[in-house]
A and B are shown apart, each in its own frame.
Chain A
């Protein structure tokens, strides 16, 4: 009786906590809207779902969900995904798995193993299906704003701020007190769409231009079928700009001064972004930067930034971006009813005329956790090579072991060259010969 009472009390307390917490948390993903410029609400289903396995256990190896007619050929039975272009936009080609599910077919997720891998007992044909009914609406991802370029968007935000007497010029006394340590708000473990867990593959492909669709398909295929993951951190390659909205190093620390705002973090690498307040581009020589160049201004207590000059690169299990990627980011403080600072609603609109079919948006929330004064130190990671590409696989190599190593061309998508050399000899890859104007 006592034990039962304890359970009931615990359950009641849990429900009460959930009930009291949920409304606040949901509110955090709803920054104040300035119509047509920032803070537009999602059309539906907020936060995103997570595409889950349809069935667990060996009995589900290769077995489709009820009512789903499998394709005659899909990515797990195909020998050449290039030939299957007409099937890429059919969820069944991917067995309804989200990209990250495909990446994790043989593991329990990054850095963890499982005794029941979803690739099944006879890979790759035995790969399990995801839930074909789960997907986050494309309308929630495509930018809700009318702008074609980041520059247009920034100028419109600036004009709006000016119309209300801005931009705000903060001093040390008046500037927002955001300094501190932040975490990621992930309700029920659900994360923003760029983690590639919330969508069917075709939904994400629909956001990309044809060339970048092919690049993403190529990545998903080689991760899922060949288990040939070329993750940047495996080789101590740079993580790149978009990885801050996935499993890469995130802006976990913030420093605010009247001249600059710093976003910093470390993990599988380091991220370090400097918002130059009141400045114009260019901020330096025209050399692409891994985290771009950022200018910005305050509109009251909201920080509005424009980042350009970003190095094109790759994020595993997802889409590549080009040197043309630019972002508009709006950071808005969230407070509870008492005025206590809870964190930041962080809206990022991504413009990339080469990679993206249309601008897209990521809206996430960074929870304020504690001050710099109480937190552990912020470490700086210097990556020492953990893995080497051996026969196309990221492989641990013991000290003293001698391997053959082909030097990658870091300026020419080295991950793609590894796949080309090791896994695509019998495929009909569209020719992309180097044309220098001489025979």
Chain B
């Protein structure tokens, strides 16, 4: 590196430091919302609709316990929530919060049959509909699958986004590592397992990229054009976007011990869920109880939840109306990448729109896999037969009055 280039690098570095020091004020999760229900650490958040009349069936988004839900609403131009609102949906999300004290003893049953069920009931009560759409993301997707199998009468549509259901695969490092992990010792010692312990595992999955290369890349992307306001604005925006993502990555809530214990043992080590052998509070989870329309969304380059972990869901369920979408992106890219905004959300909305009606008269057309996803890699083996389950559509219950209680959380910064 000659002198001039060294100076340029250090100039970029020092300029980057200045930008950093001026970028402390950035926010995440800015889509206007209200808290409509709380229970222990859980908050049920309702996003304020952006259209006058929303589709009749509301969506409940269930995110994982690891990391925070606001990755789906990271910034205004990268917000799955905002996209769904703009598509005319009524959207709710569960914020699990940060466990403490008794959180150690919370089980998967408490999350699925307790918190998720209560949140679903609250939405049903507020909107007056019998069934809702459940959109589960990552581990939240696995919980949603469990919930849909245990309470199919409350779920109109099930959408799983990068959600593992078959844990017997060598494609993902977490799957390989978890097999040799003595989770009892970890949970017995910590009780509530620090988020950093899990985070170190995620970082270790690709250490050089996640701990070195992304920071070097950030410096490289800084443009130095003195006096150019546009370039200055771009640099500032880039740094703020980087910081939002950085905040999300390291904002890792601690894990409820008993939940983690059961998740590792029953799912990662014994793969009970896909075998219909997993038990919650004495009740066996039978995936054949899932008969509602299913959309299984995956990321082709997902290093945390490989496609092999998600695909078998379509075979395991009894739904006749089921579809798989695979996007050429990664585990995080599917929420925040440019593809997410341009392709993932519109395709989910396209699938969901005709299935979000209550009136039997307005039946959704079961368009074929081919018609809906020209650009996506499809799983030919698990293509749905598109036999409409609308023939068994039940009558919607009379609408109950909507609750008016509104506690604003607009501009919420976690």
A and B form one complex: no
**B residues neighboring A (CB under 8 Å):** none
